[in-house]
Structure 1
Amino acid sequence: MNHRRARAAHHAHRLRDLHRRILESPVGLGWNRARRMELMHRAMGFAALGFLTLVPLLIVVAAADPASGEGFARWLGEALGVSESSQEEVRDLFGVPDEALQRTTAFGLAALTVFGLTFGSVVQTGYERVWDLPTARWHTMWRHVVWLALLIFALVAFVNNPVPEDAGWLGYAGALLDLIGTFVFFWLSQRLLLGGRVRWRALLPGAVTTALAMLGLRIFSQLVFSPLIASNAVTYGPFGTVLVIQSWLVGVGVVVYGGALVGRLIHERRTERRIRSDFGLP
């Protein structure tokens, strides 16, 4: 009986030790912090608010851009990386851009801008939760204006400089430039929305992981969301396209917040290793 109890105690000790190692591992730390900051909940809020507040503003901005050609539908199609048939469904969903521009009043444009700034505030709150920072004071709201302008500029630059599929090595160079541009945007976004409370060097890993994750999401969209748009449009009509776009926006929210969270973990690991090396610790 004592032998069995000893074996049971030894087994329980090994399980506790394994559980502790998992919790202290990068994966365990990332999981606990993602759960503590309610990552999926924030990503779903990101998608809902993005569709309700940011998309209407981008529709009007894209309609005012003479080089965009097909307006916001083209912007969204390029971001999703979907096929031509799926882009047709997106165009049908968002209608004719000229009508959106002609029917928008100055008051309506101002209201859309306010809604867009609200979305920037949501992104800032998510970044603050990633870094366990208090909410910024009201007088820093000017940063939302700068961030919104930066976002629109980045979208215009990305969509109006597409990479042809048969461009050869130029296509790879263009894709690399898009990746670098995405990295710079998210690096600036974190620094700007956090009000300079986190150093550039600490934000660097998060910008890199977010840019790479956005590239992965675009490839995933080409493989999964593109055929889903075509099939859902037949089954559910325009509502099916909305469901796929909303799912994609949830994925973008996970990438934006999750990339910053992974970046913080990488920064902390690098800092810990540097401290151990400076003090000669194992």
Structure 2
Amino acid sequence: MTMSGAPERAAGPGPRGNRRTGASALTGPLPRHGAIRIAVHRIWRHGREMELMHRAMGFAALGFVTLVPLLIVVAAASPVHGAGFAGWVVDGLGLSGRSAQEVRDLFSSPTQALSTTTALSLAVASVFGISFMAAVQTGYERVWRLPPAAWHAVWRQAIGLAGLVGFLLVASWAGVPWQSSPAQPALRLATALGGGLLFFWWTKWLLLGGRVPWRALFPGSALTVLALVGLRFFSELVFRPLIISNALSYGVIGTVLVVQSWLVGVGFTVFAGALAGHALWEHQQHRKEQTEPAE
């Protein structure tokens, strides 16, 4: 008997019994709403530990400074997307009309971007893009509570950057075939959802160096895509009118602030989706352990 009067066998011997004790908070006799409340509290606490908002702001800052120049050049060189990098931002924000034009005016035209780009500047932009992927890798490692990868694993970041550029090019290509036909929206939707799911699933596995199994990474990838869909609807309702009003009040700086705020939202959904997926996987593992016969 313990000091509280409970039998000692309740916790079970060894680490396995400790895990079951911790899982009982989520899958024990608590009501369903109580289990959900505890799960949300754990996600919130983990998010504070890994400084989720700080990482989202770092994602936006690094993305705007290091990744955007590379994407501008790649989009300009792509033969299937004449709108350039600005078209990607417009699609992501769900903009149209005057608000879309304000965003396009922020970036160079495709012809100008290609004419002013040298091999050295492209190489430098690629190196800066790798630093962006390194920040994403660090965020995923904090989500799964893993130690930092070795320095020579930078090749994973380079491949992840190439995968990101490739995914954006494929997403842009999806808007070209069968224009003005009923099949065009379905193609774009399938590419965005299916391609996004595969991209985030593969990127997590690549950056984490296979230290987390594929099955464990799937929930977070699916939740990230759903969160990005929600962000797009939010952008249509909030950011689109803000771009017009800020452009009238502050000029180009106002539009930059809105785009930067959207990038913060993208970073938050990327890391928060992975965080929620990690919590869901842990919950599933705890339930699986409880259903296993006692040894």
Partner SS, residue 105 of structure 2: helix
TM-score, structure 1 as length reference: 0.87
The structure where helix makes up a greater share of residues is 1
Q: What residue in structure 1 maps to residue 203 of structure 2?
A: 189
* Distance in 2 separating the partners of 1:148 and 1:178: 18
- Residue 23 of structure 1 deviates from its aligned partner by 10
Matches within 5 A, 1:206-225: 206-225=220-239
Q: Which segment is superposed worse, 29-38 or 77-86?
A: 77-86
Q: What residue in structure 1 maps to residue 24 of structure 2?
A: none
* Distance in 1 separating the partners of 2:144 and 2:173: 34
From 268, 272, 275, the counterpart of 2:282: 268
Question: Residues 28, 167 of structure 1: CA spacing in aligned structure 2 closer, same or farther, 3 A cutoff?
Answer: farther
The amino acid across from 1:75 in the alignment is W
The amino acid across from 1:101 in the alignment is L
Q: What residue in structure 1 maps to residue 6 of structure 2?
A: none
Matches within 5 A, 1:239-278: 239-278=253-292
Q: Which segment is superposed worse, 169-178 or 91-100?
A: 169-178
Per-residue displacement from partner, 1:91-137 (whole Å, max 9, x unpaired)? 11113221121111111111100000000000000000000101100
Q: Unpaired runs of 5+ in structure 2?
A: 1-33
* Distance in 1 separating the partners of 2:109 and 2:90: 15
* Distance in 1 separating the partners of 2:35 and 2:293: 26
From 237, 242, 246, the counterpart of 1:232: 246
Size of the aligned set, in residue pairs, is: 262
Q: Is the 8 A contact 1:23 1:29 kept in 2?
A: no
Question: Residues 67, 170 of structure 1: CA spacing in aligned structure 2 closer, same or farther, 3 A cutoff?
Answer: closer
- Residue 170 of structure 1 deviates from its aligned partner by 5.8
- Residue 66 of structure 1 deviates from its aligned partner by 1.8
From 195, 199, 213, the counterpart of 2:213: 199
Q: What residue in structure 2 maps to residue 6 of structure 1?
A: none
Alignment identity in percent? 52
- Residue 174 of structure 1 deviates from its aligned partner by 3.7
| Runs of 4+, deviation exceeding 3 Å | 21-24, 163-170
Question: Residues 174, 107 of structure 1: CA spacing in aligned structure 2 closer, same or farther, 3 A cutoff?
Answer: closer
Question: Residues 108, 238 of structure 1: CA spacing in aligned structure 2 closer, same or farther, 3 A cutoff?
Answer: same
- Residue 168 of structure 1 deviates from its aligned partner by 5.0
Per-residue displacement from partner, 1:63-85 (whole Å, max 9, x unpaired)? 11122112111121112211122
- Residue 144 of structure 1 deviates from its aligned partner by 0.9
* Distance in 2 separating the partners of 1:177 and 1:108: 31
Q: CA RMSD in A?
A: 2.2
Q: Is the 8 A contact 1:57 1:113 kept in 2?
A: yes
Q: What residue in structure 2 maps to residue 159 of structure 1?
A: 172
Q: Which segment is superposed worse, 272-281 or 116-125?
A: 272-281
* Distance in 2 separating the partners of 1:167 and 1:272: 48
Q: Is the 8 A contact 1:89 1:241 kept in 2?
A: yes
Q: What residue in structure 1 maps to residue 52 of structure 2?
A: 39
Q: What residue in structure 2 maps to residue 7 of structure 1?
A: none
Per-residue displacement from partner, 1:166-189 (whole Å, max 9, x unpaired)? 865763464244211111110001
Question: Residues 170, 88 of structure 1: CA spacing in aligned structure 2 closer, same or farther, 3 A cutoff?
Answer: closer
Question: Residues 278, 36 of structure 1: CA spacing in aligned structure 2 closer, same or farther, 3 A cutoff?
Answer: same
* Distance in 1 separating the partners of 2:188 and 2:46: 35
- Residue 268 of structure 1 deviates from its aligned partner by 0.4
Q: Is the 8 A contact 1:78 1:159 kept in 2?
A: no
Per-residue displacement from partner, 1:187-237 (whole Å, max 9, x unpaired)? 001000101100000001000100110111111111111111122111111
- Residue 162 of structure 1 deviates from its aligned partner by 2.5
The amino acid across from 1:249 in the alignment is L
* Distance in 1 separating the partners of 2:122 and 2:67: 12
Q: Unpaired runs of 5+ in structure 1?
A: 1-20
From 66, 76, 81, the counterpart of 2:79: 66
